[in-house]
Amino acid sequence: MKTVISEMLSQQINKELFSAYLYLEFHNILEDKGLKGFAHWFMIQVQEERDHALLFYEYLHHNNQKATLNAIEKPETTVSTVMEILEASLAHEEFITASINDIYEVALREKDYRTKEFLDWFVKEQGEEEANFHELIDNVNLLGEDSRGLYMLDRELASRVYVAPSLTVS
């Protein structure tokens, strides 16, 4: 594995952990608003992002590369509404998608097919992440100012169950 790819994968660990940290902050905001279902949904996101970071970490170690761990920045956010949180989350996921695509491009250029194959799962996962946020944004838009609808959506989101990724690191 080329050093540039190893460095990019280490940086991705930091980005995934920041994602978990950001979603934990959104969880805080939603808990304060009494939206326990939305808060739960974001706690599942926290778990997913943490596991994504660990997959990158394990991949590096499995390929005899040392992960470089950096400080996780504090999320600086001014969001306060559900819609602002969802839109900020979608923008963040698009940033993560672009980052993974950048690593993928370098892996292809460097003919690092093992890393390319590893990243295939993340490319698909990012499509699902973005689709999930688009769907939530659409649902909240449909509800408009209907607090009963928001209440029902909140209850629905409370039933989300975490399923750990079944990706095999090689």
Which DSSP symbol is given to 96?
A: H
CB 87 within 8 A of CB 134: no
φ/ψ (deg, to 5) at 70:
-115, 165
Spatial separation of the C-alpha atoms in residues 90 and 88, rounded to whole Å? 5
Mean pLDDT throughout 2-28? 97
Residue 60: Cβ-neighbour burial (10 angstroms; 0-12, 13-18, 19+): buried
Give 76-96 pLDDT, tens digit per residue.
999 999 999 999 999 999 999
Q: What's the pTM value of the predicted model, to 2 decimals?
A: 0.94
Helix (H, G, I), strand (E, B) or coil at 95: helix
From the CB of residue 69, how many other CB atoms can be counted at a distance below 10 Å? 12
Domains of the chain as residue ranges with CATH: 3-157 (1.20.1260.10)
Give 92-132 pLDDT, tens digit per residue.
999 999 999 999 999 999 999 999 999 999 999 999 999 99
Above 90 in pLDDT, residue 36?
yes
